[in-house]
Amino acid sequence: MGFDVVGNDPKTEKGEYFRNNVWWWHPLWGYVAKQCQDILTHKEIEAGGFNNGVLISERKAREIGLRLRFLLDQKEVKRFAEGYQKHLDAMPDERCDLCAGTGKRNDEFVKGDCNGCEGKGKKRPWAAHYPFNEENVKDFADFAIESGGFRIC
């Protein structure tokens, strides 16, 4: 599943289309929501987490993009990304639910080492699979500025 973000009235090719899979989109949109809560309405922030076609106006899209560029220039995005990664890295592994922590399976799907934890009995928590980095923020900022407004589908 992914999030297709389509420019409403693209000014350049950069503003035509932006895509993230669900793993990348949710941390990005969460960051945008936090940093742009004075630009976006509560309804827009909530709707941005779903593929329901919410439209963000050209004015708001440009303001979002400019805010993100400013935060990138100020190294705020870098600091956030580093802290975010430290948080993910500090999460303890969890007991594998596919093999009940044994590392072995003997069911209709797998016989032998568990494919969910590679036979270790533990695996990374789901939250650890949601990455965030500066490059994704920069790409979205560029898209937002050039999009002429955008729709999240």
Residue 110 has pLDDT above 90, yes or no: yes
Q: How far apart are the first and last CA of the chain?
A: 11
Q: In 3D, which of 134, 143, 123, 149 has the Cα closest to residue 24?
A: 134
Q: What is the pTM of this model?
A: 0.92
Domain ranges of the chain: 2-140
| Rounded Cα distance, 36 and 32, in Å | 6
- pLDDT range class, residue 67, cuts 50, 70, 90: very high
- pLDDT range class, residue 1, cuts 50, 70, 90: confident
Place of tokens 């940093």: 35
Residue 39 has pLDDT above 90, yes or no: yes
Per-residue pLDDT, averaged over 133-151, amounts to 98
Per-residue pLDDT, averaged over 3-32, amounts to 98
